[in-house]
Amino acid sequence: MGFLDRLRGRFGKTPDRDAALPLYRAVVARARQPHWYLEGAVPDTLDGRFDMVAAIAAFVLLRLEDDPAAAQMSAHLTERFIDDMDAQVRQIGFGDMVVGKQVGRMMGMLGGRLGAYREGVAEGTLDEALARNLWRGEPPAAAAVAHVRDRLLAFHAALKAVPLDALDRGELP
């Protein structure tokens, strides 16, 4: 039983294991595309892969924020992210005593990225947020930054046209 299951158990809620699974799988698949790590120079490390999943998830969550009917989908996607991070931390070898703290830290990182990307998109200055969150303050060559920025902004724009039912099926642009 994972951290989230124990938390839900305290409040009498039963997790819906299938909620947002297709969408979350699509987020992870998008984040694992090789171009992010090759042309975009995102580090192909455990941290780099987390950062890319968090970036794609954040942009999907930004899309869901635009639609009041998407609140439940947004919550399910976030819960799916927590479940995955719980499993990943356990697979790395963290014990029960620290899993909750690590997952909580990761949730804070996702929230921080969501805010940074929201602000960056609104201001048209995504490069600083990307440098801080994908390359941990050490951005690569300008071409790599431009690759990631341009792809994420195109993804953000394309997401706006995707209906909620298509997102629920895991159909990302």
Between CA 173 and CA 169 the distance in angstroms is: 12
Q: Residue 156 — very low, low, confident or very high, per pLDDT cuts 50/70/90?
A: very high
In this prediction the pTM is: 0.84
Predicted confidence (pLDDT) per residue in 90-132, tens digit = 566 665 655 566 667 777 788 899 999 999 999 988 999 999 9
Average pLDDT, the chain: 86
Q: Residue 95: phi, psi to the nearest 5?
A: -85, 170
CB 113 within 8 A of CB 55: yes
Contacts of 120 (CB under 8 A, 6+ apart): 126, 127, 128, 129, 130
With pLDDT > 90 as the criterion, what percentage of the chain qualifies? Answer: 62
The pLDDT of residue 4 is above 80 = no
| Range of lowest pLDDT (109-113, 124-128, 140-144, 161-165) | 109-113
For the chain, domain boundaries: 17-168
CB 82 within 8 A of CB 75: no
CB 12 within 8 A of CB 41: no
Q: Residue 14 — very low, low, confident or very high, per pLDDT cuts 50/70/90?
A: very low
pLDDT for res 107: 73
pLDDT for res 25: 97
pLDDT for res 100: 64
Which of the two residues, 85 and 76, has the higher pLDDT score? 76
Predicted confidence (pLDDT) per residue in 44-80, tens digit = 998 899 899 999 999 999 999 989 899 999 999 998 9
